[in-house]
Amino acid sequence: MQEEFRKFINQSRIKSCLEHNKQVAYDLLSSHGDTENLIFFSMLMQDYPRVIRHHIQQDDYTAALEVLKKQDGDSVCYDLKYALRLCSENQKNQSAVQIYSAMGLYEEAVDLALIVDIDQAKIYADKPEYDDVFKKKLWLKIARHVVEQKQDIGKAMELLRECSLLKIEDILPFFQDFVTIDHFKDAICDSLQEYNKHIEELKAAMKEATESAEVVRAEIHDIRNRYGTINALEKCAICAYPLVTRSFYYFPCTHVFHSDCLIEQVKDFMKDRQRSKVEDLQAKLASVTQATGNKAQTQAIKEELDNLVATECLYCGDAMIRSLDEPFIPPKDFEKMLESWK
């Protein structure tokens, strides 16, 4: 009958129904004192804390541990610090290493694992997947231990193959002065070949950068010597007055603007700091032109002003694109506009 009962509650349809009414089933089984089936049902519902509590109350700690084993290794069902203290007090070093790792204390895990098992230390040294600097530090601990404690040059050379972050120059300081170079000949040759390869890659990158710089210089030279033809009747794109009546800007897209018209329009798209800078340059240009007429100083101010207002066409550049989601009437002027419309 018990076997038939367990088959019955293990059916997917019945199991799904019971999952929504677990407490009712618990109460019913408890009222009959049916502890055995109560534990079976709790395991079926994956209610592990209830099962573990039952085994602990019965002083059956082995059974409680067996239940823990059936759970995910990623879920921690105990106090890590308390467990670590117990392991340390009872010299359970291997368990303490695992707890250190679960706490993310990989340096402590490696230090302790070196006492227990070097291969285990290597596993925990690889745990920090996204921190190469820290990972290298952990592998250097293993290398120092192998060289200074074990005096094993062969294993030290194996570490270079197991961890790509380690180089021969990283572990050389750990060796005694009397160790001959014959032990490191192959590793040194490999290291030198790798350095030569890296140098060649840097040379290729420098050559590519130099060629790119030459291309950029040539383009800048072409831009400086570029020119366009303007019709005598050409008009400013902003004010629609004849262009050649005063100084103007001509852009490669063929848009043309009077200098003062463009500056006033561009200032509307600038931040306060940039706008103040433009106004200061305009005032300075006017004073220098009137007072001294120094052409070099005047040209320098004009170039600085050009860099602020004429780096791109007002109609074709980013400023116009950024203005697409701005209202036609600025919020600060909206009330005034409403009054004028009234």
117 and 147 part of one domain: yes
162 and 61 part of one domain: yes
pLDDT in tens, 30-82: 787 778 878 887 877 878 888 888 888 888 888 888 887 777 675 666 788 88
94 and 206 part of one domain: no
Number of domains the chain is built from: 3
Cβ–Cβ < 8 Å for 256, 230: yes
Q: Is the pLDDT of residue 174 over 70?
A: yes
Q: Is the pLDDT of residue 300 over 70?
A: yes
187 and 255 part of one domain: no
The pLDDT value given to residue 188 = 67
201 and 173 part of one domain: no
Residues 141-167, mean pLDDT to the nearest whole number: 76
Instruction: Give the C-alpha separation, 32 to 27, whole Å.
Output: 9
The pLDDT value given to residue 196 = 82
Q: Is the pLDDT of residue 177 over 60?
A: no
Alpha helices in 11-144 (DSSP H): 12-19, 22-31, 35-44, 48-57, 61-69, 80-89, 93-102, 106-116, 118-125, 132-144
Which band of pLDDT confidence, cut at 50, 70 and 90, is reported for residue 163? confident
234 is a domain residue: no
Q: SS3 letters for 77-90?
A: CCCHHHHHHHHHHC
121 and 134 part of one domain: yes
Instruction: Give the C-alpha separation, 268 to 332, whole Å.
Output: 14
165 is a domain residue: yes
Q: Is the pLDDT of residue 258 over 90?
A: yes
237 is a domain residue: no
Residues 140-159, mean pLDDT to the nearest whole number: 76
231 is a domain residue: no
314 and 213 part of one domain: no
75 and 172 part of one domain: yes
Residues 218-237, mean pLDDT to the nearest whole number: 84
Q: Which domain holds residue 97?
A: 2-178
**Whose CA is closest to 99, among 118, 124, 119?**
124
Residues 188-214, mean pLDDT to the nearest whole number: 84
pTM of the shown model? 0.42
For the ranges 22-31, 203-212, 284-293, 317-326, the maximum mean pLDDT occurs at: 203-212
151 and 21 part of one domain: yes
Name which residue leads in pLDDT, 154 or 106.
Answer: 106
The pLDDT value given to residue 262 = 93
Which band of pLDDT confidence, cut at 50, 70 and 90, is reported for residue 255? very high
Which band of pLDDT confidence, cut at 50, 70 and 90, is reported for residue 150? low
The pLDDT value given to residue 32 = 79
Picking from 226, 256, 285, the residue at the C-terminal end of a domain is 226
117 and 66 part of one domain: yes
Residues 117-142, mean pLDDT to the nearest whole number: 84
Q: Is the pLDDT of residue 178 over 60?
A: no
158 and 189 part of one domain: no
